[in-house]
Structure 1
């Protein structure tokens, strides 16, 4: 049995992809630039390898005995071209299936880099199974949680739009399902969402109910959000600009769709946002 390569293996989604593949009995190679002590990262359950999309010298040997790949774009790489050399390398290795972590609605949205990456994979004639998730619930418990904890505010420029949030753990299960059965899912795309679409007033209400705090939706402008995250939070400007573009598209209704793709792939219902907050309460209160 050949192996599955998981890029971004310690990230929000990658770690769940690894876990779910192991549950399915797959042999996994975890790849990433930040393995300081690989044995501790996955308790010796998987092979690990140093890998960096910007360093082609790290490609050598990484695809040996691999026939399926989970591909994700690191957030700090804003140019789709940064992934092209590795995609070319996968084509030479005759990969059976590459599952790319894309973005909900990206097939109609040429602004995010995910659009061009999808097209490059398709044009390379690699067998693919694109995964197009909605916004991660982990965005709320991660980068957005600082303002929730310290200011009791949800600080995103989403206007009155709705979002069908999905748990990264559910995305990981969906990806593992695709990679475990590559022949069945060649040249397909899957929009993975939660079971409900919420606006950020409802997000704040659920957070308030589950934490006992009075959390409000600040509803900042694009300018105020961008300035705050760059000047105050000191996040990378390219990353913040991508998020502004995503929230612009969200206001146009691109994030509100609710699909059955997760249920169809896994036979399970996706976790609700209320369940997620209850299980991750400490992220919003500590």
Structure 2
């Protein structure tokens, strides 16, 4: 049987596919852009068109599948958008679904991840939630624009600390869970990097590696929200979710450091400094 990976071309999904293939699994890579999937993975996977908002894509994605990596697309802010697909997974007798959740979400009902976790459990689907800390790729991705163009980190995290984790490490952890579904049935795993950093420390590391002075601006929630909607042109629902996540961060939910990645995989998490060095091109001006 095969493993379905939703969001297969994304930050985490692409690593899940890679690690599953390394473990000898047959993979169905799903996403809205099938040409992108074929370009990424070639003939190594079965590439299928899949969209949570289009129920006609569900059955083809689940054909011959017995395990699923489930990821909520960032632009879908309502947990209910995933419920029809979760219901259908139950009908297909999926042996394990690993949902990409969020660290600390078990104690916080605000993010959509909380309701999605609970809905999966309510259906009776066998699950192995993965609850990572903030992705290092958030810094090299969405927030890299201000770093490149303004030498600034523009996030409303206050003085809070975050145990950033590389998406590659998350992908390995997910693949480990899905490769051994009986062992990890009905479990939840909080995985983090090896250290908790505040954004002043993040700026120091970026400054050291890029040899430029990077400053943490520490905006308020409203200023951040307005900037990302009006100046960056991002969807309101997406920005609202990020505001909720940074609110949680200020409450101390992102600073926890666990040894779970090593316990699951035998691999120690990548440090943030090594991540910046490996992805230096993301932080260099493209003018």
Return 5+ residue gaps in structure 2 as ranges.
Answer: none
C-alpha change, 1:272 and 1:55, in structure 2 (3 Å) is same
- Structure 1 counterpart of 2:266: 267
The residue aligned with 1:237 is: 236
Give TM-score, length-normalised by structure 1.
Answer: 0.98
Query: What corresponds to 1:107 in structure 2?
Result: 106
Task: Determine the C-alpha separation between the residues in 2 that align with 1:192 and 1:166.
Answer: 8
Structure 1 residue 102, shift from structure 2 partner: 0.3
1:278 aligns with 2:259: no
Secondary structure of the residue aligned to 2:28 is strand
The alignment status of 1:62 with 2:67, answered yes or no, reads: no
Deviation at 1:43, TM superposition (A): 1.8
Q: Which residue of structure 2 aligns with residue 87 of structure 1?
A: 86
Instruction: Tell me whether 1:17 sits opposite 2:16 in the alignment.
Output: yes
Per the alignment, do residues 51 and 13 of structure 1 end up closer, same or farther by CA in structure 2, a change over 3 Å counting?
Answer: same
TM-score, normalised to structure 2's length? 0.98
* Matched residue, 1:152: 151
Q: Which position in structure 1 is the counterpart of 2:250?
A: 251
Match of 1:98 in 2: 97
SS of the residue corresponding to residue 237 of structure 2 reads helix
Structure 1 portions without partners, runs of 5+: none
* Number of residue pairs matched by the alignment: 285
Distance in 2 (alpha carbons) for counterparts of 1:107 and 1:40? 37
Q: How does 1:134-145 map to 2 (within 5 A)?
A: 134-145=133-144
How far does residue 84 in structure 1 lie from its aligned partner after superposition?
0.4
Q: What's the offset of the Cα at 1:37?
A: 5.3
- Deviation, structure 1 residue 34: 1.5
Describe how 1:206-245 pairs up with structure 2 within 5 A.
206-245=205-244
- 2:3–2:26 CA contact under 8 A, matched in 1: yes
- In structure 2, how many angstroms separate the alpha carbons of the residues matched to 1:150 and 1:254? 30
Is the contact between residue 70 and residue 99 of structure 2 (CA under 8 Å) also seen in structure 1? yes
Q: Which residue of 2 aligns with 1:42?
A: 41
Distance 2:190 2:4 in 1: 22
Question: In the TM superposition, what whole-angstrom CA distance separates every residue of 1:175-197 from its partner, at most 9, and x where no partner exists?
Answer: 00000000000000000100000
C-alpha distance in 2, partners of 1:178/1:37?
26
Report what 2:172 is aligned to: 173
Q: Give secondary structure in 2 for the equivalent of 1:183.
A: coil
Whole-Å separation in 2 of the counterparts to 1:265 and 1:39? 30
Matched, 1:4 2:3: yes
Q: Deviations over 1:83-126 (max 9, x none)?
A: 00000000000000000000000000100000000000001010
CA RMSD of aligned residues (A): 0.8
SS of residue matched to 1:255: coil
1:133 equivalenced with 2:142 (yes/no): no
SS at 2:182's partner residue?
Answer: helix
Counterpart-to-counterpart distance in 1, 2:194 and 2:173: 15
Task: Tell me by how many angstroms 1:65 deviates.
Answer: 1.3
Measure the CA separation in 1 of the matches of 2:231 and 2:2.
43
| Matched position secondary structure for 2:44 | coil
Q: Which residue of 2 aligns with 1:164?
A: 163
